[in-house]
Amino acid sequence: MAADGQDVTPPIPSWLNMDFIQKALRSGDNNPTLTVLSCKVSMANSVGDGYSSDMYRIIARLGGSQERRVIVKCHPQGGFREVLLKKANVFDIETRMLQETLPAMYKLLNDAKPGVYQPFAAKCVYHGNDPIQFIVLEDLRHSGFTLAKRHEGMDLMHCTMVVRALARYHAASIGLHNQNPSSVESYNKFVYNQDMKEEMVKIFETGIRCLSEEVSQWPGFEKYAWKLKKLESKFYDKIVETTKRKNNEFNVLLHGDTWTNNIMFKYADCVLEDIRFVDFQLAYYGSPALDLQYFLHACTKQEIRMNYVDKLIEEYHGTLAETLEILGCSHRSVPLAVIRKAFDDCAFYGLVAATAVLPIVLSKPEDGLDVDDVESGGLSESQKKIYSNKAYVSAIKCMLPLFEEKGLLDC
């Protein structure tokens, strides 16, 4: 996950220099004579803006007045983030996704209908482990892609594009599974598992504690605060149980982290034209409902969550079935009722998104949460600010009664 944060600019690593950029671009272009004449390196995120990486934007000037722009995504060094992400092995997961799995999924679509589909992600230019783990990607911003304004929430038009893109992505993973099941099923360990409990509870349980303390101050909401408090010690175990793959049910390769800052859009004359996903560090083979619950509860306008969820699930299912037919995998399609049941079965993951991700999405830029702040297990000032933010308070007040009605707040 990521969130806009404070205006803090760490020093640029010394190894991110002209020699490194030239080596990366030569590798990506398969051109050993490519020459970088100069380069400019700047931070692409700030503290609190990238839980899972430190990111740098690079502008390289080549001969003949040519220019190349790339993003270098680096494994964080020091602090809680390094411990958490090294244990979760997220950089290896994302590297394999970008180098092998996503290109294979896109090839299936492009072979079925040449020139019709767009790639799912930015092109991986280069990757390595020296001096630290890193991935070099094309800079989607230079190609005209931008992030949605996270604090506003996505409207129906953007949400429809996202669920259709997810459906194509999931369908392509089913096509790949048909060719080689192990290529997809090998993403068999979600980041939310018992091995990660020691680290993860520091994030999730402190968040629930912070929310319950905030809710306890709202007249008429005392019962929700009490239920949230009781849920705190069991919250992570319920996440693990909800996200655990059921092999006898409908499964796909998930993006795993479908929130606002991991989805980029492109416009032509103010008309929504294209979409790309970024950050595949939590890719996982499991229920498609996890991606849908996460997105619909963390990224959308309140009116979407209240009135358009069924419509968007129908949009998702329609595109899924259509894409599977194009890929010659219509035998793997499932009825709409199966998707709806899966969505209901994963409802607790919607609560997770609403209580752990939505506060970050709706937070003010100056109040961005730094994951290193939660290492101690205590409540940081940045956590208190995002849970007491007026926009989040308004949203969660509408959602808590619905979560209670579904029994999601019961231990």
> Which of 142-151, 340-349, 365-374 has the lowest average pLDDT?
365-374
Full DSSP string of 63-87: GGG-EEEEEEEE---SHHHHHHHHH
At residue 326, what is the residue type?
I
Residue 316 reports pLDDT greater than 90: yes
Q: Where are the domains of the chain?
A: 18-405
Rounded Cα–Cα distance for residues 114 and 123 (Å):
18
Give the per-residue pLDDT at 376: 52
pLDDT score for 272: 95
Q: What is the pTM of this model?
A: 0.93
Would the pLDDT of 69 be above 70? yes
DSSP letters spanning 388-406: H-HHHHHHHHHHHHHHHHT
pLDDT at 386 over 80: yes
Q: C-alpha angle 318/324/326, rounded to 5°?
A: 105
The predicted model gives 63-77 an average pLDDT of 90
pLDDT at 51 (0 to 100): 58
Query: Pairing mode, if any, of strands 252-254 and 284-286?
Result: antiparallel
Is the preceding omega at residue 131 within 30 degrees of 0, hence cis?
yes
* Percent of all residues in the chain with a pLDDT value above 90, rounded to a whole number: 81
Task: Give the span between the Cα atoms of 354 and 155, in whole angstroms.
Answer: 17
By mean pLDDT, which of 200-209, 259-268, 286-295, 325-334 is the weakest?
A: 200-209
- DSSP track, 16-43: SSHHHHHHHHHHHHT-TT--EEEEEEEE
Query: What was the pLDDT predicted at 80?
Result: 83
| Cβ(147)–Cβ(259) below 8 Å | no
Residue 4 pLDDT > 50 = no
Helix spans in 144-269 (H)? 156-179, 181-185, 197-215, 222-231, 235-243
> Mean pLDDT, the chain, as a whole number?
92
Rounded to an integer, the average pLDDT of 315-324 is: 98
pLDDT digits 0-9 by tens, 104-136 = 999 999 999 999 999 999 999 999 999 999 999
Nearest CA to 50 among 371, 384, 381? 371
d(CA 231, CA 66) in angstroms, rounded, equals 57
**Looking at residue 1, what is its pLDDT?**
46
Residue 205 neighbours by CB under 8 Å, 6+ apart: 232, 233, 235, 236, 377
